[in-house]
Amino acid sequence: MTRIVVEQKVLKENDRIAAALRARFRDAGVFCLNLISSPGAGKTTLLERTLEGFPAGERVAVLTGDIQTENDARRLACFGFPVRQITTGGTCHLEARMVERALADWRLEDLELLFIENVGNLVCPSSYDLGEALKVVLLSVPEGDDKPLKYPAIFHKAELLVLNKLDLLPYTPFDLERARAHARRIHPGMEILEVSCTTGAGLNTWRQWLKERREAARREAALTR
């Protein structure tokens, strides 16, 4: 019972900070995405392919979370956009307080798009709101098409599923139709995109999706001013 009460207090405080972050993002016209997946599903590679497609001066930044090392931040920083690593030191997810601290000296007014790359984990990150506009879950072909049924919480909460590593379909028993069906069994209204960061398949659709969502965030911010 004590453990449940403590967890509820932690989540309540996290939700308070997340709500404040969401209001700041909305007021500044920043579209914020929380990217969640298993380790190795391809979050960082998808971000690399995304950042390399932006012109210099694009108002985009990345917060990337990991238990140890700054490897992902170094990979992403070479594209010239603001990148900051959040090293959790053992915690298997990012929390709103970590995001708040990482953003302390950043001017949100200078951004339009913020990616938060969560720690590789399909369980714990599903419970922690980071103030994002929405959660995006990645599922890679080598992981198997039954992941939505095994980890329903994150597939229920995510608005977009990115099926990644399509180039590996010929070498695995992964069934795209079954993966889509499983995901929509958990979340009937879920949007689904299919990409390969190796061949580039589907990346233009992903970029168009980002563009449309950013424009919607700008319109919402304009209405609040």
CATH topology of domain 2-217: Rossmann fold (3.40.50)
Say how far apart CA 64 and CA 84 lie, in whole Å.
6
pLDDT of 4 strictly over 90 = no
* Structure confidence by residue, pLDDT tens digits, 126-153: 999 999 999 999 999 999 999 999 999 9
Please name the residue ranges forming H helices in the chain.
Answer: 2-28, 43-52, 71-77, 96-102, 147-150, 152-157, 176-186, 203-224
pLDDT of 8 strictly over 90 = no
pLDDT, position 1: 46
Amino acid at 138: L
Please name the residue ranges forming H helices in 90-143.
Answer: 96-102
Q: Distance from first CA to last CA of the chain, Å, rounded?
A: 45
Stated pTM of the model? 0.93
pLDDT, position 66: 94
* Structure confidence by residue, pLDDT tens digits, 168-206: 999 999 999 999 999 999 999 999 999 999 999 999 999
pLDDT of 67 strictly over 60 = yes
pLDDT of 7 strictly over 70 = no
* Structure confidence by residue, pLDDT tens digits, 42-61: 999 999 999 999 999 999 99
Q: Please report how the helices 2-28 and 203-224 are oriented relative to each other, as an axis angle in degrees rounded to 10.
A: 80
| Domains of the chain by residue range | 2-217
